[in-house]
Amino acid sequence: MLLLGIDVGTSSVKISVVDANSGSTLASAHYPPGESDIISPQYGWAEQSPDMWWDHVCQALAICNAKKSYNPKDIAAIGIAYQMHGLVITDQAGNSLRNSIIWCDSRAVDIGNKAFEAIGPAYALEHLLNSPGNFTAAKLAWVKANEPEVYAKVHQAMLPGDYIALKLTGTSSTSISALSEGIFWDFKENQISTAVMDYFGFDESLIPELKPVFSSHGEVSKEVAEQLGLKAGIPIAYKSGDQPNNALSLNVTEPGEVAATAGTSGVIYGVTDQLLCDPQSRVNTFAHVNHSPEQQRLGVLLCINGTGSMNRWTKNRFAASLSYPEMNTAAQGVAPGSEGLRVLPFGNGAERMLNNQIVGAHLNGIDLNLHRDAHIFRAVQEGIAFSFRYGLDILRENGMKPAIIRAGKSNLFLSEVFSSSFVNITQVPVELHDNDGSYGAAVGAGIGAGIFKSAAEAFTNRKPLQMIQPENQGLENAYQEWKGLLEQHLNQHKS
């Protein structure tokens, strides 16, 4: 019995076909070979075409099928993971009406902040567990205010994964988890937030049918099945934002368990059974994949926009001829602390943990006689690790105190410099696993289709690849210098 996992990321779409019985991946592919375009019509804006995502899904699946390591007709269920918070709006026929305003777009910050004050900070934190901030509801309000001719055609508003499921099945649905990441969900009343809908003037008909994360979100249509080489009627049995899905792929589902990722953005994601909220909304709380009103499972999420995006920018500007492993090797030749070079990696839009300020990325302390490209490579990865420490301290303020963090051995966790810097500056051991988003989506499909009874059953035979324990590398002084530079920039933005 085979499971198909689709991971709609910012950089690419990845697909994996997993054997449910053995847990092994029979084939995987991603598309495009490089990186997906991000459209930035103005400073602080970031958009992608939903139809580009769909094309990339089709292309990646075609590559997988062409490997002939499985029979596509044997796929029993499909799961979808997707980049969180992006707004997709569709017309009556299910066509997207404009580019998606994606997660790192900053245009709706003021709209969300005004909504927070108008709804009432105490009410918003108690009921929504967040400020509307820069999330999906605020992005939809931006369209309503600035593109009324487009908004007039809107039939439904949805998240990126909802759109891909719509393309596969011809039917639309969403979940409590998805609505919570868009700040449409009232956790106190366990319903779509009337306060948010009334404040923005949204009709509830804009919201697709509500279904559990682990359930049937429609079946692959005959037309699409013929196009993709699949059988008609395969259920879409799971849909989740990328960070809850990453946590699922690491078997992080119960209170006290914590996951991390360091891809385009960086995230620490901890599960709790309490309705936790940060009074300053620097971290966010959403419904986890296994949340229900009867058994609360919330994900407390710290997000850092400038993670892999900062490392990629560095490669493109300073090391275009090098591979990432070659960059990492060069960085290892520089002593911890980068001989005084400090990098603030905040150049990818408004940062939630910095109160939605746009600080920008900064390279500080350059010595023209000392520092080489390798120093920059190391300082960038240390700066990203320092950002995680800064955010983890915020999580600790809010009661999340992880004893161990699980992460996939991918992206920046492939770098010895980053991994050791992360562990040594946070003083938390990291357990590295062989996982990715498309594998997690496939497992989620298995749970949703009833092939697995639980995540614990699905991951019975999976063991960690590596455990990294903290050592003393003398990074604390470097971190305090870095933190001082960050605070200087934050104070400048306040004044």
Please give the pLDDT value at position 495. Answer: 63
Q: Could you report the average pLDDT of every consecutive run of 10 residues in the chain (495 residues)?
A: 97 97 95 94 96 98 97 98 98 98 94 97 96 94 99 99 99 98 98 98 98 98 98 98 95 95 92 92 94 95 92 96 97 98 94 90 97 98 98 92 94 96 97 93 98 91 92 91 97 78
Same domain, 145 and 12: yes
Same domain, 207 and 349: no
Please give the pLDDT value at position 264. Answer: 84
Residue 197 CA, distance from chain mean position: 25
Residue 353 lies in a domain: yes
If phi > 0 it is left, if psi is from -120 to 50 it is alpha, else beta; for residue 37 that is beta
Same domain, 65 and 209: yes
Residue 443 lies in a domain: no
Choose among 195, 234, 202, 240: nearest CA to 218.
234
Same domain, 245 and 344: no
Please give the pLDDT value at position 32. Answer: 97
Altogether, the residues listed in the chain come to a count of: 495
Q: Report the alpha-carbon distance of residue 434 to residue 190 in Å, rounded.
A: 36
Residue 56 lies in a domain: yes
Where among 209, 230, 250 does a domain terminate?
A: 250
- Computed on alpha carbons and rounded to an integer, the radius of gyration of the chain in Å comes to 22
Would you call 124 helix, strand, or coil by DSSP? helix
Residue 37 token pair: 């375009």
Pair 294, 273: CB distance under 8 Å: no
Residue 351 lies in a domain: yes
Where among 205, 230, 250 does a domain terminate?
A: 250
Please give the pLDDT value at position 142. Answer: 99
Amino acid identity, position 138: A
Residues linked to residue 467 through DSSP beta bridges, in sequence order: 431
The domain in which residue 348 lies consists of 304-432+467-494
Please give the pLDDT value at position 435. Answer: 87
Q: Report the alpha-carbon distance of residue 442 to residue 458 in Å, rounded.
A: 10
Same domain, 75 and 175: yes
Same domain, 104 and 246: yes
Q: Report the alpha-carbon distance of residue 305 to residue 266 in Å, rounded.
A: 6
- The number of folded domains in the chain is 2
Q: Is the torsion defined by CA of 398, 129, 429, 456 positive or negative? A: positive
Same domain, 245 and 371: no
Q: How many helices (H) and strands (E) does the chain have?
A: 17, 22
Residue 425 lies in a domain: yes
Would you call 448 helix, strand, or coil by DSSP? helix
Alpha helices in 206-263 (DSSP H): 222-228, 242-249
Please give the pLDDT value at position 225. Answer: 98
**Half-sphere exposure of residue 162: CA atoms within 13 angstroms, side-chain side:** 32
Residue 318 lies in a domain: yes
Same domain, 56 and 202: yes
Would you call 284 helix, strand, or coil by DSSP? strand
Where among 215, 250, 285 does a domain terminate?
A: 250
Which CA distances in Å does 233 have to 14, 129, 164, 182, 221?
22, 38, 16, 29, 6
Choose among 177, 186, 273: nearest CA to 217.
177
DSSP state at residue 40: -
Same domain, 338 and 232: no
Same domain, 112 and 224: yes
Choose among 36, 19, 173, 212: nearest CA to 94.
173
Report the CATH number that the domain containing residue 13 is assigned in CATH. 3.30.420.40
Residue 486 lies in a domain: yes
Q: Report the alpha-carbon distance of residue 367 to residue 339 in Å, rounded.
A: 9
Same domain, 245 and 341: no
Residue 290 token pair: 């296994």
Pair 125, 279: CB distance under 8 Å: yes
Same domain, 69 and 210: yes
Please give the pLDDT value at position 464. Answer: 93
- Sheet of strand 75-82, all strands in order from the earlier edge strand to the far edge: 25-31, 13-19, 2-8, 75-82, 236-241
Which runs of E-coded beta strand occur in 153-235? 156-158, 173-174, 185-186, 191-192, 209-210
Amino acid identity, position 226: E
How are beta strands 13-19 and 2-8 bridged, if at all? Answer: antiparallel
Residue 458 lies in a domain: no
